[in-house]
Amino acid sequence: MLYWLQQLQMKRWEFHNGLPAAPDAALAGNGPALRLELEQEEAELEEFLCPVQTPPGLVGVAAALQPVPAQSSALQNISLKHLGTEIQNTMYNIRGNRQAQGAGHGPPGEDSPPSGEPVREEQPLPPNPSAPGDDPADSAKPAPKSSLTANLIQKAKRQNNTFPLFSEGLTRNRTAQEKVLALEQQVLILTKELKSQKELVRILHKALEAAQQEKRASSAYLAAAEDKDRLELVRHKVRQIAELGRRVEALEQEREGLVQTASLREQQVQELQRHVQLLMDKNQAKQQVICQLLEKVTQDFMQPHNRPPAPPDAADRDFLSQQEKMEHLKDDMEAYRTQNRFLNSEIHQVTKLWRRVAERQKALLMKCAYLQAKNCQVESKYLAGLRRLQEAVGDEASECSELLRQLTQEALQWEAGEASADSGVLSPISEYDEYGFLTVPNYEVEDLKLLAKIQALEVCSHHLLAHEAVERPRRERWAALGELAPSAELKQLLRAGVPREHRPRVWRWLVRRRVQHLQAPGRYQELLSRGQACSQPAARQIELDLNRTFPNNKHFTCPSSSFPEKLRRVLLAFSWQNPSIGYCQGLNRLAAIALLVLDEEESAFWCLVAIVESIMPADYYSKTLTSSQVDQRVLQDLLSEKLPRLMAHLGQHRVDLSFITFNWFLVVFADSLISSILLQVWDAFLYEGTKVVFRYALAIFKYNEEEILRLQDGLEICQYLRFFTKTICDSRKLMSIAFNDMNPFPMKQLRQLRTAHGERLEAELQELEQLKAAYLETQASRLPAVPEACASEDELDGEA
């Protein structure tokens, strides 16, 4: 039974390790590596259970051709332990032998082997189970039918040579083995030489391509008519050299990271090997203890001490029965031990197969994500090229402009799911993201539609490329994080962004830290009941702003959605919580973001309270918006300090940034950034405060600084600033600029700037109030009397 079970294991291993058809040269080159791997596999299997030798004469075709045993032999070696089973098996054997004898009286000599040669040499025997590593290698190589037969015959001869009857075949087989080894070495040498020749040809091709490129560049340089053109060619080459240098640096950094990862994996493998060795030593020690106890029990049975004297016949019968029981127990124990070893080997093999399948699946998923990202990049470049051609052609050529317009419309209407005819192509872009925001905003202007789709493709490409390298390690770190507590590690994790499945829990913890001195059980329900009892003055403005909250989010535009009603209750409760503010435009978007993430009214309400009353400065959402104006002046100073070139450029064209940045600070970028980057900003904002808003505002301008500097018209700059935040798709780059490139950024400096500008603004407001009061007083003193001939509108209406 064990022999056939091991044969099934070997066949399963051959099937799993079966390689696709490949050229013979490639297989010859992989031969030594496959042999080494199979030898290692054989050594690992022998640690659990040594391969069962092929039972001679009991299996295979040779056993079927043996002469039929006599009837009396079926009654021999009957075990008394399982008498009923033995009798039943014996009856089946007797019937089978009679049928075989009746069928075997045919003409002699048709299928019988020659008398002078043994039967085993004529028929190929099953492969030798003592070398299970040879079969997977042989099965993995696609060979003709004749070579397969030759291999089987060679294996049969190799197996038969273990018997002393075939000493001559042993010498012949060794000579053949030496020839085969010599031929394999020659094939290996020729394969290496072929690889070296291919590498030489590839190097020569590269050298030839480089020479051709240099020749073309020289020809273009010599063909240039003016020095200006030649200078432009030289500058182009310099830019190419710089780009190649940056690529080399990036590849070097990537190589260093891979080397570090490989060293860590090697350490983990060594640690696991040590652990496995300890477990095997422990198992061996347990087996030794079991054997010692068994020997002790045997000795106790063989040498009884305090047993009462018994008659000689009874004592002999008792001893024989006990000895027979001991033999049966030994057989059972050996059977269980063998079965345990076999099951251990089976578990080991199945585990290795499962790991290989998991690795292949992981590699295929990574390849699929990489191909999807490349597809998005290619499509994005195609759309960007169409947009540039459309801008360049304009209305000069009607045919070209019409063709470009048609291609643009097709690109905007194209969807990956509709275009894919087979099921193997996946659609990387969905209509809405995980929080309900449109991935491709529905602009009315055709240029903005094209720009929106380019943006969506770039976002999808960045997400797919960063999923394996960034998202998975980040999710593992958050999953391993236990109870939340303020720390430097938590700050770094929040800056990098919280995974979607952990974000509600983390935000509730952050909000609770901010409002734990304000929270009271049943406070939210109390405020709602108060709103139902009497009307709130801000209720009318809240109703007007509900329909204007995130028109690009399906949760606030769908008529059957419950989010608008939840948002209404949250805003009304806050207007009763803080009557000095009541309601201010922008609070609806803050509460909407909290609802989308937390999905609970009360949690969203306390999140809004934390932002307005704890995180933001006082008077930030008051009627005068004093603190908001102060922050705009502070941002102007920080921009002049961190980005002087940009501020000089904007000052030259008289561009005021406050009409863009004021809304950023009021709603914490809720209308400006795409949802994935927006929520990453909020993760750090809820933990660190308003300093994060300043950091990201500076980082946004730094991210697009070069694009703004290229614009030389004030109107173009203003139009670009309206939507330039939507062009940001690389969250890691933006985060690096905000928290690395903008350093140093001390909180002390921010407080000093706020204090200074706050005092100036208060003085200006007081001066404005004085001017207003003086003006009213002057107007009251100079008010002329109404002439008698002139009547007021009220008097005329009364007369009528």
Write out the DSSP string of 281-305: HHHHHHHHHHHHHHHHHHHHHHS--
Inform me whether the pLDDT recorded for 96 exceeds 80.
Answer: no
pLDDT, residue 506, reads 95
Q: Which of 23-32, 93-102, 169-178, 590-599 has the lowest mean pLDDT?
A: 23-32
Inform me whether the pLDDT recorded for 634 exceeds 90.
Answer: yes
- Tell me whether residue 750 is exposed, middle or buried, using C-beta atoms within 10 angstroms of its C-beta: 0 to 12, 13 to 18, 19 or more: middle
pLDDT, residue 110, reads 41
pLDDT, residue 235, reads 86
Q: Quote the DSSP letter at residue 73.
A: G
Mean pLDDT (whole number) for 105-121: 40
Do residues 583 and 590 touch, judged by C-beta distance below 8 A? no
pLDDT, residue 274, reads 92
Q: Which two tokens stand for residue 137?
A: 């290698």
Average pLDDT, the chain: 76
Inform me whether the pLDDT recorded for 115 exceeds 70.
Answer: no
Inform me whether the pLDDT recorded for 42 exceeds 80.
Answer: no
Where do we find the tokens 């493998």? 269
Give residue 690's pLDDT band: very low, low, confident or very high (50, 70, 90): very high
Mean pLDDT (whole number) for 600-605: 94
Tell which residue, 727, 693, 721, has the closest CA to residue 708.
Answer: 721
Give residue 112's pLDDT band: very low, low, confident or very high (50, 70, 90): very low
Residue 654 region by backbone torsions, left for phi larger than 0, else alpha for psi between -120 and 50, else beta: left
Q: Which two tokens stand for residue 740?
A: 């690395």
Where do we find the tokens 């053949």? 176
Inform me whether the pLDDT recorded for 296 exceeds 60.
Answer: yes
Distance from the Cα of residue 764 to its chain's centroid: 55
Do residues 593 and 498 touch, judged by C-beta distance below 8 A? no
Inform me whether the pLDDT recorded for 443 exceeds 70.
Answer: no
- Please tell me the distance from the alpha carbon of residue 419 to that of residue 17, in angstroms, as a whole number: 37
pLDDT, residue 380, reads 66
- Tell me whether residue 577 is exposed, middle or buried, using C-beta atoms within 10 angstroms of its C-beta: 0 to 12, 13 to 18, 19 or more: buried
What are the beta bridge partners of residue 407?
none
pLDDT, residue 227, reads 81
Mean pLDDT (whole number) for 320-324: 87
Mean pLDDT (whole number) for 10-19: 74
Mean pLDDT (whole number) for 225-249: 87
Q: Provide CB contacts within 8 A for 750, sequence distance 6+.
A: 634, 691, 694
- Tell me whether residue 382 is exposed, middle or buried, using C-beta atoms within 10 angstroms of its C-beta: 0 to 12, 13 to 18, 19 or more: middle
Q: What DSSP string runs through 616-679?
A: SPTTSSSSS-HHHHHHHHHHHHHHHHH-HHHHHHHHHTT--THHHHHHHHHHTTTTTS-HHHHH
Give residue 413's pLDDT band: very low, low, confident or very high (50, 70, 90): low
pLDDT, residue 434, reads 86
Q: Which of 5-19, 35-49, 536-550, 691-705 has the lowest mean pLDDT?
A: 35-49
Do residues 386 and 368 touch, judged by C-beta distance below 8 A? no
Tell me how far CA of residue 449 lies from CA of 358, 386, 416, 707, in angstroms. Answer: 42, 13, 17, 20
Mean pLDDT (whole number) for 282-304: 86
Q: Which two tokens stand for residue 648?
A: 């000089």
pLDDT, residue 532, reads 81
Give residue 571's pLDDT band: very low, low, confident or very high (50, 70, 90): very high
Inform me whether the pLDDT recorded for 423 exceeds 60.
Answer: no
Do residues 569 and 528 touch, judged by C-beta distance below 8 A? yes
pLDDT, residue 788, reads 52
> pLDDT by residue (tens digit) across 606-615?
999 999 999 9
Where do we find the tokens 């596999």? 41
Q: What angle do CA 589, 497, 368 make, to 5 degrees?
A: 110
> pLDDT by residue (tens digit) across 55-78?
665 565 565 566 655 544 444 454
pLDDT, residue 678, reads 94
pLDDT, residue 43, reads 60
3-state SS assignment for residue 784: coil
Do residues 197 and 189 touch, judged by C-beta distance below 8 A? no
Give residue 392's pLDDT band: very low, low, confident or very high (50, 70, 90): low
Q: Which of 133-147, 178-192, 346-360, 579-593 has the lowest mean pLDDT?
A: 133-147
- Please tell me the distance from the alpha carbon of residue 220 to that of residue 2, in angstroms, as a whole number: 77
3-state SS assignment for residue 729: coil
Where do we find the tokens 């706050």? 758
Give residue 44's pLDDT band: very low, low, confident or very high (50, 70, 90): low
pLDDT, residue 667, reads 95
Mean pLDDT (whole number) for 750-763: 94
